[in-house]
Amino acid sequence: MTDLHRLSVRELTEGLAQAKFSSRELTEHYLKRIEKVDAQVKSYVTVTAKQALAQADAADELRRAGTAGVLTGVPIAHKDIFCTQGIRTSAGSKMLDNFISPYDATVVAKGKAAGLVTLGKVNMDEFAMGSTSESSYYGATKNPWALDHVPGGSSGGSAAVVAADLAPFATGTDTGGSIRQPASFCGLTGLKPTYGRVSRYGMIAYASSLDQGGPMARSAEDCAYLMNVMAGHDAKDSTSVEKDVDDYVANLNGTSVKGLRIGIPKQYFNVAGLAADVKARVEESLKKLEEMGAILVEIDLNMTEAYVPTYYLIAPAEASSNLSRYDGVRYGYRCEDPKDIMDLYKRSRSEGFGPEVQRRILIGTYALSAGYYDAYYVKAQKVRRLIQQDFLKAFESVDVIAAPAAPTTAYKIGANLSPVEMYLGDIYTIAVNLAGLPAISAPVGFDQDNLPVGLQLIGNYWSESQLLSVVHQYQQATDWHTKRAAIAEENA
């Protein structure tokens, strides 16, 4: 079969179950495509071909024995932030270029237990700080829709592999939009779960009170398959919640769009940087949902102006603390010929971290330092609570809240936005992390340059099933999620 990469995750599970193809054939097919196409996209940091083929053979063995699970033998790509035993886990940083993880992240272990075949580790902004994937030590990943554009970030590699048909789905992480924004830039569906739904164990920390892993795929249905693997309590992550996990696939038709109350925040559609095409596509998608029976309700989210300053104090503060472990002593990059211990620390960190990561460490250290702590960090924590309350009030009158996933479509590579311009691009995603809520991004059309636009739906706590279900109904009634980038078409 020459078109295995066109199949959805459900079709892959059916094909494997009916022995229409083996996991080895499927895996070899993807590995060949990676070899052929990834020189242009540059999405993989590490391809684990040998291990993938061994996992595929083991999966085929389980199929023959009749002991396979639903997903046994389906390939996946992992963001290079999830620790993988025996395989380099770089977090896109020179600091960890030589780091071979001695253990698997819980998400990776769960994937293995479900029989998923790891094709490799994919590119990302350094330590997940960024919105373009350009800050990676391994260079920029290209947007499959337009190779001179970024795929978004920080999970840019995860988005690019799926959009270029170099993996059927991928894991991502979202601290302030890193699943939803690249999904939006690459025409994909991406789910950021409720904080605590997916284990953070073995996921390299950026800002621990905001970080959350989740699925990125072509459709809500494909995301649901991966959520079934990723979600669940983990004793190794103290913030993971002991709460029953839904069967996200079985619940795909569980929520009716008819009568669903969708909140439209007034403030969100008056943001200065909101591109006209993005606004138009998002409004058209809401019209479509209205035709399907949803009720659109205008709401207020009065804290909107506080999102960017609040996030850009809390996230760097936590980052500066988390990244203090990279000292050149225990693991990771160490400078040559240190004079003394201070020189070792200073040069290892100056040489090992890129400029954006250093900027965040400086901002965070400043916000946490004596004399500024109350004025910045403590104040930001108080505002964070107000932002959460703003959402909770809104959820008293609506079921979900609609927003663009990002104010623009994908930027040009090398556009060289100032840090502040770049941070302002996170306006629609970061409040969700500050509040710990779940949210999904789904493709709803294109701008005049044929770059994808994403609609974001924000749900109340633990409403992942509802969000996946609403997007699934929308995707049954529309075909935006079936559109393929030219590079995926050409190399079919």
How far is the C-alpha of 122 from the C-alpha of 411, rounded, in Å?
Answer: 20
Alpha-carbon torsion, ordered 464, 466, 470, 473, to 10 deg? 100
- Residue 111 CB, shortest distance to ligand GLN, in Å, is 20
Q: Is 176 in the site for ligand GLN (CB under 6 A)?
A: yes
| DSSP assignments along 346-407, one per residue | HHHHHHHS-HHHHHHHHHHHHHHSTTTTIIIIIHHHHHHHHHHHHHHHHTTT-SEEEEESSS
For residue 190, the minimal CB distance to ligand GLN (Å) is 11
Quick one: tokens of 134?
């350009």
Cα–Cα dist 296/398, whole Å: 9
Which span (103-111, 168-176, 233-241, 483-491) binds ligand GLN, by CB under 6 A? 168-176
Structure tokens at 128: 């997940």
Q: Is 79 a catalytic residue?
A: yes
DSSP summary character for residue 263: E
Alpha-carbon Rg for the chain, nearest whole angstrom, is 21
For residue 6, what are the CA distances in angstroms to 78, 310, 483, 488?
A: 20, 42, 11, 9
Nearer to ligand GLN, 92 or 263 (CB): 92
Contact residue for ligand GLN among 75, 120, 177, 263 (CB under 6 A): 177
**26 is a contact residue toward ligand GLN (CB under 6 A):** no
Minimum CB distance to ligand GLN smaller for 69 or for 419 = 419
CB of 421 to ligand GLN, least distance (A): 12
What does the alpha-carbon distance between residue 297 and residue 336 come to, in Å, rounded to a whole number? 61
- Please say whether the dihedral angle defined by the alpha carbons of residues 83, 86, 87 and 89, taken in this order, is positive or negative: positive
Residue choice 22, 118, 123, 178 for contact with ligand GLN (CB under 6 A): 178
Phi-psi sector, 4: left (phi>0), alpha (psi -120 to 50), beta: alpha
Question: In whole angstroms, how close is the CB of 175 to ligand GLN at the nearest point?
Answer: 4
Min CB(466)–ligand GLN separation in Å: 22
Active site residue 266: no
Of 178, 219, 463, 469, the active-site residue reads 178
Please, which of residues 392-451 interact with ligand GLN by CB under 6 A? 426
Q: Is 315 in the site for ligand GLN (CB under 6 A)?
A: yes
Strands, sheet with 117-122, edge to edge from the N-terminal-most edge strand: 44-47, 117-122, 75-79, 169-173, 213-217, 189-192, 439-446, 452-459, 400-404, 261-265, 295-299
CA distance 430 to 425: 10
| Of the candidate residues 165, 174, 221, 234, the single one contacting ligand GLN (CB under 6 A) | 174
Whether 178 is catalytic: yes
Minimum distance from CB of 326 to ligand GLN (Å)? 17
Instruction: Please report, to the nearest 10 degrees, the dihedral formed by the alpha carbons of residues 334, 335, 337, 342 taken in order.
Output: -90
150 binds ligand GLN per the rule CB under 6 A:
no
**With respect to ligand GLN, which residue has the nearer C-beta, 143 or 285?**
143
Q: State yes or no: residue 184 binds ligand GLN (CB under 6 A).
A: no
Size of the site for ligand GLN (CB under 6 A): 13
Interaction residues for ligand GLN, span 203-232 (CB under 6 A): 206
Of 71, 77, 128, 434, the residue at the interface with ligand GLN (CB under 6 A) is 128
In terms of CB distance, is 55 or 131 closer to ligand GLN?
131
Active-site choice (8, 22, 43, 79) = 79
Of 85-93, 124-132, 221-229, 371-379, the segment contacting ligand GLN by CB under 6 A is 124-132
Question: What's the helix, strand, coil split of the chain in %, to 5?
Answer: 45, 15, 40
Q: Do residues 194 and 440 lie in contact, with contact meaning Cβ atoms separated by under 8 Å?
A: no
Residue number, 68 or 170, with CB nearest to ligand GLN: 170
**In the complex with ligand GLN, which residue's Cβ is closer, 129 or 229?**
129
Distance between CA atoms of residues 326 and 96, nearest Å: 9
- State the chain's maximal CA–CA distance in angstroms: 70
Residue 114 vs 315, nearer CB to ligand GLN: 315
134 binds ligand GLN (CB under 6 A): no
Measured CA to CA, the distance from residue 130 to residue 155 in angstroms comes to 9
Query: CB-wise, 129 or 224, nearer to ligand GLN?
Result: 129
Among the listed residues 22, 135, 154, 199, the single catalytic one is 154
Binding segment (CB under 6 A) for ligand GLN, from list 126-134, 261-269, 301-309, 404-412: 126-134
Our finding on whether 131 is near ligand GLN (CB under 6 A) is yes
Q: Which residues bind ligand GLN (CB under 6 A)?
A: 128-131, 154, 174-178, 206, 315, 426
Active site residues: 79, 154, 178
